[in-house]
Structure 1
Amino acid sequence: MLLSERLPSTQGLLIFEAAARHKSFTGAAQELGSSQSAVSQHIKGLERSLGLTLFRRIYRGVALTEEGIHLYIAVQGGFQQIVSCLEKLQKTRLHQAINVATDFAFAAYWLLPRLPRFRELHPEIDVRIITSQGRYDFAGQNVDVAIVFDGPQPIQPHAFKLFSEEVFPICSPAFLQANGPVASHKKLASMPLLKLGTDAGQGWFDWPGYFQGRRSQIVPGEAVLTFNNYTLLIQAAIAGQGLGLGWATLVDDLIESKILVGLREFSLSSESGYYVVEPQPHEHLNAKQHFMDWLLAERAEGLSG
């Protein structure tokens, strides 16, 4: 026998649940926007179809019979389970997640400090950050948005520039006090230099390229320390172990808070920079669009500041 043939109508069960919960046909009628007589008729019809007496009429209300108690427990539990399931399904549909790929440096020094602002605007979106130090291979990867460092003509299609490259020497205030002042390229080249390994820079300037870009004839000596990721280099600079190259937008917050000093008089700019890339541009996700719009807003705020 089909369920539809074995079960009474859903409307009848809803009216029964309300009447049993209120212990009153009048209370059920008020909740359901009906009348006491209509509720009474529905209950009589339900009792007749089931062949059971579900309520005893008492003074100023009704009371469940033993059969009514068993049915009420089953009906209320069933409806509650349906409601919980629907809420979970709707929450899953509304709750979104995006995968954002970038390098260690951008994630640590720009994205993570600002991410609470995005979450305040869009608490329903989970941002999952995937980091890599070298060039990221998007083939076969589940990446919605990527923020990558690239040259003037990015190799990735569907990319727009977030920040142009500006680089300058950085060090701790104590290091500058002990080794400064710095008034020339020659002085810069003579200081203990911190170097980022060639496999870790994604096309970033190294010290020889930096001096060439500054049109200086000075050739820097060997670095005292070499690192395979930029976050370690920054930590060494903060600790006063040498002079590193700092990228604007990545180190600006550290300079503003006086953790590092930026020698901006030795600044060097290029047409390279950070780009926002859509590895799957034809996949339209609200969460992805919200995140990219937020990146553009943060860029505009940084430029205006």
Structure 2
Amino acid sequence: MLERDELPPLQSLVVFETAARLLSFTAAAKELNMTQPAVSQQIRSVELALGVTLFERIYRGVRLTDEGHSLLKMTQKHLKELRDALQKMKQKNRHPRINVATDFAFAAFRLMPRLPEFRKQYPNIDIRIQASQSEVDLASTEADIAILFGDGHYQGYRSEKLLAERVYPVCSPKLLDGKDPVGTFKELSALPLLKLNLEAGQQWMDWATVFRLNNSNMAPPEPVMEFDNYTLLVQAVISGQGVGLGWSPLLDDFIKSGVLVALEDFAVASERGYYMVTPNQQALSDPAIAFLQWIVSANDVNPTKA
């Protein structure tokens, strides 16, 4: 049995395993980012340490000797055990992480302002926010939890309503400075309207829907500006460039602080809203459960199953 000081260096065994697995010193050099002579030197050092020949040089390559086969089997087994043990050590010392998927609007206006409180309550849980401008593809995302806007029907997933949809026009106070209160659709139509462009499948309300649900005989005028991003639209509204549609769950903080004015006379509601969505066949981790409980309390709601 080899003594500890007679064992080949670990790096040499890694080089041997790679060359033996690929049956090529050149391919092993490429995978390990080494030169081919350096690989040959490492292999030779293992052979000298063990006093055996591990490879037979053949035309355009190498093949393993019986001793080489035996060493490859042992090396792969123990390298795997070593890698697994090191990975467990890393995981043990790493904070648990939750992947949360949602859209940019909810992330920017509802989630991010409240996350410091979650971090205060759960300092050892890391949060990764996967925000998307388009509709979140649940099949391809690695999220533990998704917070999605829609009707709550997601095949293969559990969903509970977090926030109901309520929509009304919003604008900056300076846009109304010196003007009479806006109480009719004629007065609303005289203001510059801002539009959010929707992708196929998205269910957000538009100006035409708001006018129709309010039983207006008027059609909305053409918008003065259009945006593909709701965050940019809100920034334009805040700067006084026009009137946009505000979703109550998203812009409540701006309205309460007086940054935005809600034109409540034109408010409409629907059965849609933001839902907490989780895999149907997968048990939630303790950190994920803690996050779900926190997001419910942070939004002061009683969630309902879809």
TM-score normalised by the chain length of structure 2: 0.66
Note if contact 1:192-1:243 (Cα within 8 Å) is conserved in structure 2.
yes
Residue 142 of structure 1: SS of its match in structure 2? coil
Aligned to 2:46: none
Note if contact 1:146-1:279 (Cα within 8 Å) is conserved in structure 2.
no
- Mapped to 2, the partners of 1:164 and 1:86 lie a distance apart of 42
Change over 3 Å in CA distance of 1:192–1:258 after alignment to 2: same
Following superposition, the deviation at residue 155 of structure 1 comes to 3.2
Could you list the structure 1 runs, at least 4 aligned residues long, displaced by more than 3 angstroms after superposition.
1-4, 85-90
Alignment of 1:156-195 (within 5 A): 156=155, 157-195=157-195
1:62-99 Cα offsets, whole Å, 9 max, x none, are: xxxxxxxxxxxxxxxxxxxxxxx99866432xx10011
- Mapped to 2, the partners of 1:284 and 1:86 lie a distance apart of 21
Aligned to 1:203: 203
- Mapped to 1, the partners of 2:135 and 2:88 lie a distance apart of 43
- Mapped to 2, the partners of 1:255 and 1:200 lie a distance apart of 30
- Mapped to 2, the partners of 1:223 and 1:98 lie a distance apart of 40
- Mapped to 1, the partners of 2:88 and 2:136 lie a distance apart of 39
- Mapped to 2, the partners of 1:302 and 1:265 lie a distance apart of 27
Question: What letter matches 2:103 in structure 1?
Answer: D
Aligned to 2:138: 138
- Mapped to 2, the partners of 1:292 and 1:226 lie a distance apart of 35
- Mapped to 1, the partners of 2:2 and 2:173 lie a distance apart of 80
- Mapped to 2, the partners of 1:86 and 1:212 lie a distance apart of 59
Note if contact 1:96-1:287 (Cα within 8 Å) is conserved in structure 2.
yes
Following superposition, the deviation at residue 154 of structure 1 comes to 2.3
Aligned to 2:93: 91
Residue 208 of structure 1: SS of its match in structure 2? helix
- Mapped to 2, the partners of 1:267 and 1:201 lie a distance apart of 23
Change over 3 Å in CA distance of 1:292–1:183 after alignment to 2: same
Unaligned runs of 5+ in 2: 5-86
Residue 297 of structure 1: SS of its match in structure 2? helix
Question: What letter matches 2:292 in structure 1?
Answer: M
Is residue 235 of structure 2 the alignment partner of residue 261 of structure 1? no
- Mapped to 1, the partners of 2:91 and 2:238 lie a distance apart of 48
Note if contact 2:158-2:280 (Cα within 8 Å) is conserved in structure 1.
no
* Structure with max Cα Rg: 1
Which segment drifts farther, 204-213 or 255-264? 255-264
Following superposition, the deviation at residue 180 of structure 1 comes to 4.0
Aligned to 2:153: 154
- Mapped to 2, the partners of 1:286 and 1:97 lie a distance apart of 11
Alignment of 1:1-305 (within 5 A): 90-92=92-94, 95-151=95-151, 153-156=152-155, 157-199=157-199, 202-279=202-279, 281-300=281-300
- Mapped to 2, the partners of 1:300 and 1:104 lie a distance apart of 21
Count of paired positions:
220
Question: What letter matches 2:154 in structure 1?
Answer: I
Change over 3 Å in CA distance of 1:86–1:187 after alignment to 2: closer
- Mapped to 1, the partners of 2:240 and 2:200 lie a distance apart of 22
Which segment drifts farther, 281-290 or 205-214? 281-290
Note if contact 1:200-1:228 (Cα within 8 Å) is conserved in structure 2.
no
RMSD over aligned Cα atoms: 2.5
Percent identical pairs in the alignment equals 45
- Mapped to 2, the partners of 1:88 and 1:250 lie a distance apart of 38
- Mapped to 2, the partners of 1:207 and 1:279 lie a distance apart of 34
TM-score normalised by the chain length of structure 1: 0.67
Note if contact 2:170-2:244 (Cα within 8 Å) is conserved in structure 1.
yes
Change over 3 Å in CA distance of 1:132–1:105 after alignment to 2: same
Following superposition, the deviation at residue 257 of structure 1 comes to 1.3
1:245-297 Cα offsets, whole Å, 9 max, x none, are: 10102111011111111112221111110001013651431111111111111
Following superposition, the deviation at residue 188 of structure 1 comes to 1.0
Change over 3 Å in CA distance of 1:86–1:184 after alignment to 2: closer
Residue 265 of structure 1: SS of its match in structure 2? helix
- Mapped to 2, the partners of 1:138 and 1:242 lie a distance apart of 35
Change over 3 Å in CA distance of 1:281–1:188 after alignment to 2: farther
- Mapped to 2, the partners of 1:117 and 1:192 lie a distance apart of 37
Aligned to 2:16: none
Note if contact 1:146-1:277 (Cα within 8 Å) is conserved in structure 2.
yes
Note if contact 2:165-2:269 (Cα within 8 Å) is conserved in structure 1.
yes
Following superposition, the deviation at residue 132 of structure 1 comes to 0.8
Aligned to 1:64: none
